[in-house]
Structure 1
Amino acid sequence: MIKKRVSLAIVLTSMATIFAACGGGTAQQAANSPDTTGTSTPAPAKSANTGPREITMYTAGGAIDEKTFDSMYGNAIRKKFPDVTVKYIPNGKGSTMADLITAGTTVDVVFDSIAYANTFRDFGIQVDMTPYIKSRGLDLGKFEQTAIDFQRKMGNGAINSLPVWTASAGLFYNKELFDKFGVPYPKDNITWTEVYDLAKRLTRNEGGIQYVGYVTAAGSQANTNQLGLKYIDAKTGKAQIDNDDWTKFMQSIAQFFQITGVDWTAQNSTVAAMRAMFEKERVAAMYTNYSGGTPPDDMKWDVVKVPSYEQAPGVGPQSYPAYLSIASLSKNKELAFDVIAYLVSEEYQLENTKAGRATVLNNKDIIKQYGASMEKFKGKNIAAMFPEKRAPIGDYTPYDTIASGKFAAAFTEVIVNKKDINTALREANEAANKEIEALKQKTK
């Protein structure tokens, strides 16, 4: 129990904006609640639902309003299960996971992005869905497999969550700028070296306007990196962002911002500012998006696969899925799983994908329908946003948030303050480990 309590405190401290005012006592309570590990969950009988036909869903991460929840999940569930009452509890003041556990609130299904992967492990409210999966005959082979492999790794073989949608990713480009400067459009299976060559041709000053060849969110690119690099050494629990591999990776991004002509400052180097260069100001020719976003409707754009590295040919970025889980707080786990099974079914996935939320299934017919209900996607290279081969998902340790933040800060130091990469990453690694150690001491 000491380890569980320490781990919980680490997560709470590093994600303070998500979980507030929670101590080890709630972890103890959760750990003593039924089905905390899921290992003793009996094999359920199919559709043996008992109790009220009511489902309460909760998000422990970034809260969404009820209207958005209904458009994503609520309305579809009510249509499929007309006799079921669907309730939604968003994370917020007085309704953090810790608050709900303490109050003994019934929560049946929790949905969260992978960023909150430690939530169930550290609160001890996970339920191993393996018996339900087997009894319902749910085929895990139909999913994009890195999302399933990640769950097996996190659960030491147990499946505590199932992916419901993921973030598409791609190299988006503004056709008008390519046409303006007579540069050929990028193509699928392009490498980062080739993109760099394009970026140099597109970074120029014309008519007093500074154009930029390529911009990105360096932190997101690192979080979903194609090379399998990890922020934290799993054995030591320390940051490892100053090794040769991370140094080369940083250089692969920083080189685009070292092309002569652009003066990068604290103001124009933020993620928001660079995205605005592409979407609003229309002065950036290419932009990689790893979070599922797409350019505005009125832009003449298209997309190709995220470029690959020569040392990892054909490997796309890591998946960044959202997951559905049964909470041990549920009084009707049978119905909870039935709802989850529907949300990962081809029926729901097709409609969800048409609405612009990328499917987690390996069904090419569904993938082709991505954004079909949205005018902006017509005629676009949709398949490019779904890598055929993805890099394995990272570990998402309780310390990843710290190291990730330091890496992003080091990137700014390199492109704004002209600090050399080795120095920037060494200082970032030292700062990360100092913060990690302070966190460890605080939670002893």
Structure 2
Amino acid sequence: MMKRGFGKLRKAVTVSLAAALTLGLLAGCSGGKAADKQEEKVLRIGVLYGSTDDSWFRQQYTDIFEYTNKNIKIEIVPAVDNNQYRYNDGTEPYVQPDYLESMKKIMTGSNPVDVVVADTGTLKQLIQENLLKQLDPMIQEDKFDTTDYVPSVIDGIKDLGEGNIFALAPSFSSSALYYNKKIFTDAGVEPPTDKSTWDDIFAKARLVAKGEGKDRVYGFSFNRYKGNDPFWDMQYTYVGGLQLKTFDDKAENMTVSSPQWVKVWETISKLAKDKIIPDSNSGMNDNEVWTAVSSDLFLSGKVAMTIGESNYVNEVADANNNASKIKNFTPVDWDVVTVPVHPEKPDVGGNIYLSNTFSINSSAPNADTAWDYIKFINGEEYAKLKSRSNTYEMVSRKSYIQPKQGLSYNIQAFYLLKPLPPTNPKDDKMMADKPGLYNVTNMGRTYFQQVLENKKTPDEALKEWAEKGNKMLQEIKLNPKTQFQEDGTPFVPDESGNIRY
């Protein structure tokens, strides 16, 4: 499911954000008696979802702006109020909210919001429906500097607006390819480099994989956790980069029986069968003594390369700093390069994600104040503070992106690539309205397992998945509430959630 609004936000930042930034910015911002004499304004900020407890969002994004602008009062307006779900006693079925339509309602009513905070999928739809103001004229008039923005962030935003800027994002999340230097040195293999293709990385993975059984060291893993599932790992990370679809936009016909899908399954299944990448049983040892790193394939030295988020740097550094306290643990000598790319899109990937873009509603009553606010949280002083306080995302201004904990590593790997195109909120809505579509995709796992067990070739398995999936899609077309058991048997849950055939 698409990450949303402040679903990506984590309640880990303290009130010190406001206090710290106040000290640095108070002298340079309008405030005090002069501000008190100004006409009071209400700036309404629309977010995809929230509740009456909006303290985290305020601490992160609005408290200091209010403090230094005494005449401005900020209201946080969630498009979907999560409080409604607290009081559901289970007698009413859960209905997935339509975030896009809910956001449009608070943008177009009698009291529209001024600022819109959204993920890139929602942002793109709002742009296409002409519901947002273009920011380029204001950027040019105020000479607001965007040259310091990470290219992957600003270019990704421009791509959504067909070359124009409709939003700014003060921070972003990203991933990179972590690699164990010692494993490569011992094998006499050159380590990976930025913008390596997937085939390059898989080739290196074969050269450094070694050992048998519980001593096996895998060449590559899509993530660092034990108990990997090759099918879903492939779906999210590898297939997602190619933007291959399981079924068409109307969810009426399967699209997996194609040469490109066959190549994908041939590649990943061979890596799994040759134990170059781990499977669901890899690294599992009932007799293993638990340690702080035993469930982590990379930290425990069981994999030479893995994909990890930017905040994984902290986990690796903390483990190394506490090596003497961890039984049988050797500090990892590591570095990062960009996530592998597909030749068809050599500059796209890296799981770069803009969870909170800030834009101005075309119907904003206080458009000028909204722009002042957006400039503020996307400015240099704000970036300077955020670079010290935000451990989960990276600031968008590259001048303030620094390696964490005083370490030296290839930090550019986290922002050299452009973001993948966002998912369409309408696709998410379709998946919510037709829950059986998940079963259609998950059915592919059964067929992929048959390939791993040498019971079918990738071509045979994909054709059977397409045939079975088409039948399932027809059942869903007849009744959108249809779901399926593991063998594909259809059923429609009753209002209590019980199976009704």
TM bucket by the smaller chain?
Answer: 0.5 to 0.7
User: In 1, Cα distance between the equivalents of 2:65 and 2:206?
Assistant: 50
Q: How does 1:39-438 map to 2 (within 5 A)?
A: 52-60=40-48, 66=54, 68-70=56-58, 72-78=60-66, 81=69, 83-88=71-76, 91=80, 92-94=82-84, 101=105, 107-117=113-123, 120=126, 126-130=131-135, 132-133=138-139, 135-138=141-144, 144=152, 145-153=154-162, 160-175=166-181, 177-178=183-184, 185-205=191-211, 208-216=214-222, 217-222=233-238, 225=241, 227=242, 240-260=255-275, 264-265=279-280, 276-278=295-297, 281-289=300-308, 292-295=310-313, 296=315, 297-299=318-320, 300=332, 301-310=334-343, 313=346, 316-317=349-350, 319-322=352-355, 323-327=357-361, 330-354=364-388, 355-356=390-391, 357-360=393-396, 363=398, 365-366=399-400, 369-370=401-402, 372=403, 374-375=404-405, 378-387=407-416, 389-390=417-418, 393=421, 396=424, 398-399=426-427, 402=431, 410=444, 413-414=447-448, 418=452, 420-423=457-460, 425-426=462-463, 431=469, 435=473, 438=476
Residue 199 (structure 1) shift: 2.1
State whether residues 257 and 466 of structure 2, in contact with CA within 8 Å, keep that contact through their aligned partners in structure 1: yes
Q: Secondary structure, in 3 states, of the residue corresponding to 2:219?
A: strand
Residue 118 (structure 1) shift: 6.3
User: In 2, Cα distance between the equivalents of 1:57 and 1:165?
Assistant: 18
Deviations 1:100-141 (A, max 9, x none): 84796764333233354466479x793223464555455667
TM-score of the two chains, using structure 2 as the length reference:
0.58
User: In 2, Cα distance between the equivalents of 1:433 and 1:140?
Assistant: 51
Question: Aligned-residue CA RMSD in angstroms?
Answer: 5.0
State whether residues 221 and 306 of structure 2, in contact with CA within 8 Å, keep that contact through their aligned partners in structure 1: yes
Residue 163 (structure 1) shift: 3.4
* One-letter code aligned to 2:159: F
Residue 147 (structure 1) shift: 1.5
Pick the structure with greater CA Rg.
Answer: 2
Residue 277 (structure 1) shift: 3.7
* One-letter code aligned to 2:273: Q
| Residue aligning to 2:18 | none
Residue 379 (structure 1) shift: 0.8
User: In 1, Cα distance between the equivalents of 2:201 and 2:338?
Assistant: 12
Residue 149 (structure 1) shift: 3.4
Residue 313 (structure 1) shift: 4.8
Residue 261 (structure 1) shift: 7.6
From the superposition, tell whether residues 304 and 52 of structure 1 become closer, same or farther in structure 2 (CA, over 3 Å): same
What is the aligned length? 380
Q: Secondary structure, in 3 states, of the residue corresponding to 2:218?
A: strand
Q: Unmatched 5+ residue regions in structure 2? A: 6-37, 86-96, 223-232, 285-293, 321-331, 432-436, 482-501
From the superposition, tell whether residues 234 and 441 of structure 1 become closer, same or farther in structure 2 (CA, over 3 Å): same
* One-letter code aligned to 2:260: D
Residue 306 (structure 1) shift: 2.0
User: In 2, Cα distance between the equivalents of 1:187 and 1:196?
Assistant: 13
* One-letter code aligned to 2:368: E
Percent identity, aligned pairs only? 20
Q: Secondary structure, in 3 states, of the residue corresponding to 1:55?
A: strand
User: In 2, Cα distance between the equivalents of 1:147 and 1:408?
Assistant: 31
State whether residues 121 and 422 of structure 2, in contact with CA within 8 Å, keep that contact through their aligned partners in structure 1: no
State whether residues 121 and 423 of structure 2, in contact with CA within 8 Å, keep that contact through their aligned partners in structure 1: no
Residue 17 (structure 1) shift: 10
Q: Secondary structure, in 3 states, of the residue corresponding to 2:202?
A: helix
User: In 2, Cα distance between the equivalents of 1:62 and 1:439?
Assistant: 33
Residue 60 (structure 1) shift: 1.5
From the superposition, tell whether residues 214 and 89 of structure 1 become closer, same or farther in structure 2 (CA, over 3 Å): farther
* One-letter code aligned to 1:414: F
Q: Secondary structure, in 3 states, of the residue corresponding to 2:280?
A: coil
Q: Secondary structure, in 3 states, of the residue corresponding to 2:45?
A: strand
Residue 172 (structure 1) shift: 0.8
User: In 1, Cα distance between the equivalents of 2:477 and 2:395?
Assistant: 37
Q: How does 1:13-52 map to 2 (within 5 A)?
A: 52=40
Q: Secondary structure, in 3 states, of the residue corresponding to 1:256?
A: helix
From the superposition, tell whether residues 314 and 127 of structure 1 become closer, same or farther in structure 2 (CA, over 3 Å): closer
TM-score of the two chains, using structure 1 as the length reference:
0.64
* One-letter code aligned to 1:126: L
Q: Secondary structure, in 3 states, of the residue corresponding to 1:126?
A: coil
Residue 195 (structure 1) shift: 2.0
State whether residues 218 and 411 of structure 1, in contact with CA within 8 Å, keep that contact through their aligned partners in structure 2: no
Q: Secondary structure, in 3 states, of the residue corresponding to 1:162?
A: coil
User: In 2, Cα distance between the equivalents of 1:51 and 1:241?
Assistant: 60
User: In 2, Cα distance between the equivalents of 1:280 and 1:417?
Assistant: 30
Residue 352 (structure 1) shift: 3.2
From the superposition, tell whether residues 325 and 192 of structure 1 become closer, same or farther in structure 2 (CA, over 3 Å): same
